[in-house]
């Protein structure tokens, strides 16, 4: 098997030149802000509810992102819910992130999802 890069990697100069012990890793930020800012900037619907949960839908309504701090799922450790649907409405896959995952990491996951709009991977 041969692995090839599908997109160029960009590493900021500040990170390239610093030793791993010199940086601070994402350890906090458990609000919805970084994700909501990313998705609003991409034209997604963002709807907060009265219980402080936030529901986001992609422009084509096939991807749902929920920040659900006030649900039974959050009590079990599932703060973020992401669900991707097939064109016919069936769930293709879903992912959850717990309350210990920083919102910037969830935003990074979603940015990667958004960056690859094609259904199929080039290596398949």
Per the structure, the count of domains in the chain is 1
Residue 19 falls within a domain, yes or no?
no
- Greatest alpha-carbon span in the chain: 51
Q: Please name the helix (run of DSSP H) or strand (run of DSSP E) that holds residue 107, with its range, or none.
A: helix 103-115
Is 82 a domain residue? yes
Question: Which pLDDT tens digits describe the chain residue by residue (124 residues)?
Answer: 333 344 444 445 554 555 666 766 666 667 899 999 999 999 999 999 999 999 999 999 999 999 999 999 989 999 999 999 999 999 999 999 998 899 999 999 999 999 987 767 677 6
Residue 48 lies in a domain: yes
In a domain, 103, yes or no: yes
Q: Give the tokens for residue 76.
A: 């079990």
Strands (E), the chain: 45-48, 54-57, 63-67, 80-85, 91-97
93 belongs to a structural domain: yes
pTM across the whole model? 0.77
- Domain limits for position 101: 28-115
How many C-alpha atoms does 84 have within 13 Å on its Cβ side?
A: 9
Residue 94 lies in a domain: yes
């Amino acid at each position: 098997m041969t692995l090839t890069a599908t997109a160029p990697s960009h590493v900021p100069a500040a990170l390239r030149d610093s030793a791993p012990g010199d940086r601070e890793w994402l350890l906090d930020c458990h609000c919805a802000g970084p994700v909501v800012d990313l998705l609003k900037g991409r034209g997604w619907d963002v709807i907060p509810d009265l219980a402080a949960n936030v529901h986001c839908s992609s422009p084509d309504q096939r991807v749902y992102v929920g920040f659900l701090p006030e649900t039974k799922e959050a009590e079990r450790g599932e703060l973020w819910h992401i669900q991707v649907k097939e064109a016919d409405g069936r769930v293709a896959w879903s992912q959850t992130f717990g309350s210990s995952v920083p919102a910037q990491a969830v935003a990074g996951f979603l940015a990667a999802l958004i960056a690859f709009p094609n259904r199929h991977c080039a290596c398949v």
